[in-house]
Amino acid sequence: MSDSRAHGFLCLAFGPAQSYAVVPRSDSFTSFWQGELAGWIFEGGRSVEYVAFSGIDGYYVRYEDGSSAWSLHPGLGKLIKKEGVKWIVFGPDSYVFLSKSGVLHWWNVPDALEERLESLSSSDHLVSVGLGQSSPYVAIFQTDYIWGGNVPYNTSAAYWTSGLNSYFDTMVQCDEMLSPLGIFYTHDSISANFTDGRSIYDAARDLNNGNMAITDMPMMEVFKHAGCYFSRSNRRLWAFRNPGVTQAPVRIVEPPSDVSNLTKLKEIYVRYKNQ
């Protein structure tokens, strides 16, 4: 479970066999994905702006250069070719999409959702829609929302039960991806072991040789002061910096009430920067 993070997403799509694709909104993030089809789309050498999966091997993808491609039912493909797509959402045997001209199209959606879509005076009144396996759905409008099936609802947070992996959960919950080399320490010395007894040297070694991913460790907490980031997780910062991790997920927290020693901490950072 997570509150909605600061960066947000241009696109978050789930496919079969625990596959997914995420295109973050923030320039400090890069897209990340899991699954053979997602890998084929994202590793093709073109920057992806939007993607949606349909069934086992169906997809729609729009690239940053404005071009698009898809593998879908021929009838839907013709409609997409004619009208273009702003966004599209697939269920197991259904879809809703908004054309470039602002016209909503849908097929085989639950009756209550179809009735509401037909009653819309403007497509702008539909903020977001999700279609799940079998009957679950959620539709959020400018004034209210409707849902059906076993769908939880929370008025103050975005949340999920992914069952995917720690990488996905950490990446969608973090606030930024930062270079550990650009983060200041907040102590002039650190313990050689984490609170659970693990060695920071073993962690650095495992990160270096690929036996540990950056998301296998708890997220670093950092705060910003005078344009600089300072770590509240100094042992994790050391473990990330020593194997040369270029980007690490962080959570931005409030600075401490006493920041009088931060000038000295910058000097400490310089002293440790080559470690």
**Per residue in 68-108, pLDDT tens?**
999 999 999 999 999 999 999 999 899 999 999 999 999 99
Please report, in tens digits, the pLDDT of each residue of the chain (275 residues total).
233 344 567 888 888 888 888 888 776 677 888 889 999 999 888 899 999 999 889 999 999 999 999 999 999 999 999 999 999 999 989 999 999 999 999 999 999 999 999 999 888 889 889 888 777 888 889 888 888 876 655 544 444 555 566 778 788 788 888 999 889 888 778 899 999 999 999 999 999 998 988 888 889 999 988 888 999 899 999 999 988 788 898 999 998 877 666 666 666 555 545 45
In a shared domain, residues 36 and 154: yes
In a shared domain, residues 15 and 110: yes
- The DSSP secondary-structure symbol of 24 reads E
- pTM as predicted: 0.70
Instruction: Tell me whether strands 20-24 and 9-14 are parallel, antiparallel or unpaired.
Output: antiparallel
In a shared domain, residues 162 and 182: no
Interatomic CA distance for residues 241 and 235, integer angstroms: 10
Give the CATH number of the domain where residue 203 resides. Answer: 3.90.1530
Identify the pLDDT of residue 174.
Answer: 84
Which domain, by its residues, includes 150? 9-170
Where among 137, 170, 203 does a domain terminate?
A: 170
Does residue 55 form part of some domain? yes
Identify the pLDDT of residue 2.
Answer: 33
Which amino acid makes up residue 129? V
51 vs 39, 86, 134, 263, CA distance in Å?
12, 11, 22, 45
**Contact in structure between 10 and 47 (CB atoms under 8 Å):** no
Does residue 183 form part of some domain? yes
Q: Which two tokens stand for residue 98?
A: 């908004």
Interatomic CA distance for residues 149 and 90, integer angstroms: 16
Alpha helices in the chain (DSSP H): 36-42, 74-83, 111-119, 166-173, 200-209, 234-241, 262-272
The domain total for the chain is 2
